Structure 1
Amino acid sequence: MMDHSPYWNPKTETLPREELRQLQLAKLRRVAEWADARSPFYQRSFRAAGFSPDQLRSWADIERIPFLTRDEWMQSQIAYPPYGELPVAGAESAVRMHTTSGTSGKMPLRALDSRKDWKWSAEMWSYALWGVGVRPSDVGYIAFGYGSFIGFWGLHYGLEKIGAMTIPGGAQTTAGRIKQIIDFGVTVVASTPTYALRLAQEAQELGIDLRGSAVKTIILSGEPAGSIPETKALIEEQWGAKAFDTAGMTEVSTIFMFEPADQPGGCHIIEDHFIEQVIDPETGKELGYGERGERVCTSFGRSMIPLLRYRTADLVQKMPSSRASNGRTWDLYEGGILGRVDDMKLVRGTNVYPRAVEGIVRTFGSIEEFQLRITREGIRDEITLQVEPSPSVNDEAWRELSSRLAAELADAHEGLRFIVDRAETGSLPRFELKAKRLTDLRPAL
């Protein structure tokens, strides 16, 4: 790969759409045949739906494949522990086992990868790393405590694959990571958006000027906040570096989209390795360009656990490749992952999206952390925003800050009144992995 090329794989990244469709259909047939021949789960699922892989003759036939849900995967895992009946082979054929984060409160899914699968995972990250401008001369730092959660494991191997020096952050303090980033002349940092902001706060407390460091690129993943313009702008201002969004999931073992350096604001789907559909979460009907709906993923790269028409519960909005100006023919997710389909909360007749709240909060540079809490007081719902301002905010400044914040939240939510409370310095939780900032304490209906 020539360093000056913007593409990791020029042939497939610029493949004409009709040829891309033909490639996807051919790969889809192979994956469906593989799953039908070797996975007990898919054998039952296909028979119940009246589906056979030989029915995949045209693009429209993808609708014949039944959806796979997280609950179905989990129930299979519970019934046939520890890995369920989706895998096409036993654990002795795997070299990797990873889990979902468990931050949603649900039992983590367990996923297996063969040696071939894991090489593929690194390849997908290489698309993204190269696309954001990372090159063999870079020094990459992964600010992440490695464990069974898949996290940035694939990125680690992607950095190695393209030839960049790779430094794992490991299990250490935030201050320790900041010092390593400076001492080792790191040029690329990978973290969640929340932790990128936490690192910047720690650097400020240590008297370290991140803007004057060697860091030029921040790779964000793990949270929808990576595509919230206000959050990204704050990260870039604090680091003096460009930030780029990516998104992946344990279920596919890697990433499926990335925001390249030459296409800000939109994330390309890696379409030579995935089919991404957007459906109405209520009806299951596929939606068109520009319509928001639930993301459904089909993966061509994971052989141990085939993934066909997996309902992710991610909220997305797909736009055509013609919107891109960088020569890639892959479709885009406008604004990346917009949140979760079930993230929306109804409070006194008004829809509240955590992403929208964060977009407002991040315009206030003096706010270090925040939490949303929804309660029911008698028959009335209340929504409270707990805000932890920086220590320099005195009482007078806080009154002005809280007043402006409450007004902007109300303006963006049809006049809904948010209670804005001040939290003590350091009292709100900090997150290295996926942040959990919304708690709904209302009794279940």
Structure 2
Amino acid sequence: MADQLFWNPKTELMPREDLRALQLAKLRRVAEWAQARSSHYRRTFAEAGFHPDQLRTWADIDRIPFLTRAEWMAGQDALPPYGDLPVTGPENAIRMHTTSGTSGKTPLRALDSRKDWSWAAEMWCYALWGAGVRPHDIGYVAFGYGSFIGFWGLHNGLEKLGALTIPGGAQTTAQRVKQIQDFGATVVASTPTYALRLAQEAEALGIDLPGGPVRAVILSGEPVGAIKETKALIEKRWGAKAFDTAGMTEVSTIFMFEPSEQPGGSHIIEDHFIEQVIDPDTGREVPYGERGERVCTSFGRSTTPLLRYRTADLVVKVPHTAASSGRTWDLYEGGIIGRVDDMKLVRGTNVYPGAVESIVRRFPEIEEFQIRIERCGDRDEIRLLLEPSPVVDDAAWELLSGKLGIDLAEAHEGLRFLLERAAPGELPRPELKARRLTDLRPTS
């Protein structure tokens, strides 16, 4: 029975004591590999007075210096195009992927060998199998297939698992929706924002998604596990179960997944990752149940080793004993909550985009939204651009915006949001990561 529920029951059900021993052995191996072959790690290990021989107990992991994105990018700028972190050049790699570059800055670049990329597919098999995907399924990947790492790994994972895999690149949203219907897709993968966009397009085309064969929507690229309202809206519009996953270019596409037996919590793939949660200000590890910044160590990417990488993701880790899935791996409650730098201070009140979204998504009449923070004279203002469904008339808009304004103020210590109505189709629906908050205040 366990073989039917788990992709790798040997490690997913491994006793914690054995799992810790496995992680420590893998940690020593990857630290030795990094020191021997990466000029970045040779330098930073020496500066920190660390040597892999010091990894004798679990507590010794804190001897390893943190790696930051700023350091990675600085090395890449100094030694373009890949920097001093990789252990080899492109001659030994078969893949190069980048971050999405949505911030407008030069994207981070990462190399993968054939072995690395095979490992990425294996990681996705944990997640897909946990979501109930099986070889008889038809998977549709609603993704642009550029250099952004995105759903590339999921695509390979579907193929490895044995499912028929349909790439949905280089098409309009309408064309993708029609293919989902024409090919009888049972599994669809996209970002949460684009899942809603696909559902909106299907409704416009007269396609009944809830009455169709899609039974699983695999979500990644944006926080959704902590925003229950968004997840519930996706499930309603698709008539399917939505599953939260998360990855990043730096770790090679996936490190956690939400199985069908564990709604609201995402298992860390602990036989291949060590995930720590630290106070972002002090760098010290926080106890279970406290919010902090996730720090990732990966065992599977040999070309670009990742040791104690500060991700800037905000998470709350809970112990495996909170799991109902039977797995012995710890969980992130609600998945990725947001980013360390997401919080904005507006007239003395903390504003998080995820908290705003959780309120907006209570109103299914709102199709999309954008947050703008501006300096008006000597006063900060927060403006919310809202795009309602075309069927919302002026009277309905007055009622809706009035209730939404009250809910936002109550959740933000009385802070008043300026609500503006956007025209149908005015606001963007990207297929990659959505950026819904723009801070237009002067930095000085």
Q: What TM-score does the superposition give when structure 2 sets the normalisation length? A: 0.99
SS of 2:302 mapped into structure 1 = coil
Q: Check whether the contact 1:36–1:42 (CA below 8 A) recurs between aligned residues.
A: yes
* 2:292 is the counterpart of 1:293: yes
Aligned pairs (5 A) from 1:21-32: 21-32=20-31
State the partner residue of 2:83: 84
Aligned pairs (5 A) from 1:158-237: 158-237=157-236
Task: Rate the CA distance shift 1:276–1:4 in 2: closer, same or farther, 3 A.
Answer: closer
Aligned pairs (5 A) from 1:44-443: 44-443=43-442
State how far apart, in whole Å, the 2-side matches of 1:265 and 1:333 are. Answer: 9
Q: Check whether the contact 2:359–2:408 (CA below 8 A) recurs between aligned residues.
A: yes
* 2:34 is the counterpart of 1:38: no
State how far apart, in whole Å, the 1-side matches of 2:225 and 2:150 are. Answer: 15
SS of 1:87 mapped into structure 2 = coil
What percent identity do the matched residue pairs reach? Answer: 76
Q: How many residues align?
A: 444
State how far apart, in whole Å, the 1-side matches of 2:150 and 2:443 are. Answer: 32
State the partner residue of 2:13: 14
SS of 1:210 mapped into structure 2 = coil
State how far apart, in whole Å, the 2-side matches of 1:427 and 1:364 are. Answer: 18
Q: Check whether the contact 2:113–2:302 (CA below 8 A) recurs between aligned residues.
A: yes
Task: Rate the CA distance shift 1:298–1:4 in 2: closer, same or farther, 3 A.
Answer: closer
1:174-195, Cα deviation, whole Å (9 max, x unpaired): 0000000000010000000000
Deviation at 1:89, TM superposition (A): 1.0
State how far apart, in whole Å, the 2-side matches of 1:48 and 1:442 are. Answer: 38
- Structure 1 segments, 4+ long, off by >4 Å, are none
Read off the aligned partner of 1:131 and give its amino acid letter. Answer: G
Q: Check whether the contact 2:224–2:335 (CA below 8 A) recurs between aligned residues.
A: no
Task: Rate the CA distance shift 1:226–1:324 in 2: closer, same or farther, 3 A.
Answer: closer
Q: Check whether the contact 1:3–1:135 (CA below 8 A) recurs between aligned residues.
A: no
Unaligned residue ranges in structure 2 (runs of 5+): none
State how far apart, in whole Å, the 2-side matches of 1:191 and 1:112 are. Answer: 24
1:8-35, Cα deviation, whole Å (9 max, x unpaired): 0001001111111000000000000000
SS of 1:381 mapped into structure 2 = strand
Deviation at 1:433, TM superposition (A): 0.5
State how far apart, in whole Å, the 2-side matches of 1:127 and 1:427 are. Answer: 39
Deviation at 1:254, TM superposition (A): 2.1
Q: Let me know the Cα RMSD of the aligned residues.
A: 0.9
Deviation at 1:197, TM superposition (A): 0.1
State how far apart, in whole Å, the 2-side matches of 1:238 and 1:402 are. Answer: 22
Task: Rate the CA distance shift 1:49–1:434 in 2: closer, same or farther, 3 A.
Answer: same
Read off the aligned partner of 1:127 and give its amino acid letter. Answer: Y
Read off the aligned partner of 2:272 and give its amino acid letter. Answer: H
Deviation at 1:364, TM superposition (A): 0.5
Q: Check whether the contact 2:225–2:265 (CA below 8 A) recurs between aligned residues.
A: no
SS of 2:232 mapped into structure 1 = helix
SS of 1:254 mapped into structure 2 = coil
Read off the aligned partner of 2:345 and give its amino acid letter. Answer: L
Deviation at 1:106, TM superposition (A): 2.6
Read off the aligned partner of 2:240 and give its amino acid letter. Answer: A
SS of 1:122 mapped into structure 2 = helix
Q: Check whether the contact 2:2–2:9 (CA below 8 A) recurs between aligned residues.
A: no
Q: Check whether the contact 2:140–2:187 (CA below 8 A) recurs between aligned residues.
A: yes
1:92-117, Cα deviation, whole Å (9 max, x unpaired): 00000000001123320000000000
Read off the aligned partner of 2:84 and give its amino acid letter. Answer: E
State how far apart, in whole Å, the 1-side matches of 2:103 and 2:25 are. Answer: 36
Q: Check whether the contact 2:66–2:310 (CA below 8 A) recurs between aligned residues.
A: yes
Read off the aligned partner of 2:341 and give its amino acid letter. Answer: D
State how far apart, in whole Å, the 2-side matches of 1:86 and 1:442 are. Answer: 35
Q: Check whether the contact 1:343–1:354 (CA below 8 A) recurs between aligned residues.
A: yes
1:101-138, Cα deviation, whole Å (9 max, x unpaired): 01123320000000000000000000000000000000
SS of 1:106 mapped into structure 2 = coil
1:153-206, Cα deviation, whole Å (9 max, x unpaired): 000000000100000001100000000000001000000000000000000100
Read off the aligned partner of 2:53 and give its amino acid letter. Answer: D
State how far apart, in whole Å, the 2-side matches of 1:297 and 1:239 are. Answer: 33
1:186-244, Cα deviation, whole Å (9 max, x unpaired): 00000000000000000010011101111000000000135411000000000000000
State how far apart, in whole Å, the 2-side matches of 1:342 and 1:412 are. Answer: 20
1:370-393, Cα deviation, whole Å (9 max, x unpaired): 000000111111001000001101
Deviation at 1:3, TM superposition (A): 9.6
1:317-338, Cα deviation, whole Å (9 max, x unpaired): 0000000012100000000000
SS of 2:19 mapped into structure 1 = helix
Read off the aligned partner of 1:239 and give its amino acid letter. Answer: W
SS of 1:375 mapped into structure 2 = strand
